[in-house]
Structure 1
Amino acid sequence: MALPSSHCVLALAFTVAVAAAAALPPSTLASNTAPINCAQVTSSVAPCIPYLTNPGVALLTPGCCNGIRALDAAAQSTADRQNVCQCLKSAVESLPGINYDLASQLPSRCGINAAYTISPTTDCDSVK
């Protein structure tokens, strides 16, 4: 029996992370007392995946923009913004077929001015 390709393994790992994050209570992301973690980030951007992997087929949905806006609102400190940036960077690097141009435009298309660009080349340590 053939082993699954690395793309399938990465997609499966991301799906598991999103499923685990979906089990978090909705108030978890909005909490200002705990740092934002990557499970929360992946859960928030999960509705964006069809749009980012199937340009021209999938549309930018309200669920995607709501997740992007929630991340922006929750990332109040420099450390939070750097952490969200790093989580998003890791997510786009791990998913096969991501359209990086669409990913970089996602915040502005959702009506926010993010402190970083969603891209595998973003230097998240420089985010303020």
Structure 2
Amino acid sequence: MKQYFAILVLFLLSLQLFQNSEADLQCSDVLKDLIPCVSYLTSNSGSPSTTCCNGVTTLASAASTTADRRAACSCIMNVVSKVKPNVEAAKALPGSCNTTLPFTVSPNMDCSKID
């Protein structure tokens, strides 16, 4: 009986691992990359720091699949609703860091429509 219980537990744990998400990119990764940008995005002045731009570049590289891009978008949208950044600064951030993101950060962004 113990053997069957152990097999059942292993089976359920393996299902949990595969059900978490299609995306390899986790919100904690997105936050780690973008935390250095918060002061720039909320101050409405100056230019982004080197650390901020390094994070934006890392995020742009990491968001390589549709699932990753949607996960990054959803995470960013959750943060945007709490931090209330300057919308123009958020839209301009990738360009200010000489990179591009596969989506535009805006309050009306629909993450489910990102390819």
TM-score, normalised relative to structure 1:
0.67
Q: Does residue 114 of structure 2 align to residue 127 of structure 1?
A: yes
Match of 1:86 among 60, 66, 74: 74
Q: Does residue 87 of structure 2 align to residue 100 of structure 1?
A: yes
On the 8 A contact 2:30/2:72 being kept in 1, the answer is yes
Q: Which runs of 5+ in 2 are unaligned?
A: 1-22
On the 8 A contact 1:52/1:103 being kept in 2, the answer is yes
Q: Deviations over 1:11-52 (max 9, x none)?
A: xxxxxxxxxxxxxxxxxxxxxxx7111111111101101101
User: Aligned partners of 2:48 and 2:83: how far apart in 1?
Assistant: 18
Match of 1:109 among 76, 96, 99: 96
Q: Does residue 64 of structure 2 align to residue 76 of structure 1?
A: yes
The Cα of 1:123 is off from its aligned counterpart by: 1.1
What is the 5 A alignment of 1:1-128?
A: 35-56=24-45, 58-96=46-84, 98-128=85-115
Q: Deviations over 1:42-68 (max 9, x none)?
A: 111011011011122x53101011001
One-letter amino acid of the structure 1 residue matched with residue 96 of structure 2: R
Q: Which runs of 5+ in 1 are unaligned?
A: 1-33
Q: Which runs of 4+ in 1 moved over 6 A?
A: none
* Greater C-alpha radius of gyration: 2
Please name the residue that 1:20 is paired with: none
One-letter amino acid of the structure 1 residue matched with residue 88 of structure 2: D
User: Aligned partners of 2:114 and 2:99: how far apart in 1?
Assistant: 16
TM-score, normalised relative to structure 2:
0.74
Count of aligned pairs between the two proteins: 93
Query: Residues 113, 59 of structure 1: CA spacing in aligned structure 2 closer, same or farther, 3 A cutoff?
Result: closer
Q: 1:115 is paired with a residue of what secondary structure?
A: coil
Structure (1/2) with the larger helix percentage: 2
CA RMSD of aligned residues (A): 1.4
User: Aligned partners of 2:94 and 2:111: how far apart in 1?
Assistant: 16
The Cα of 1:125 is off from its aligned counterpart by: 1.0
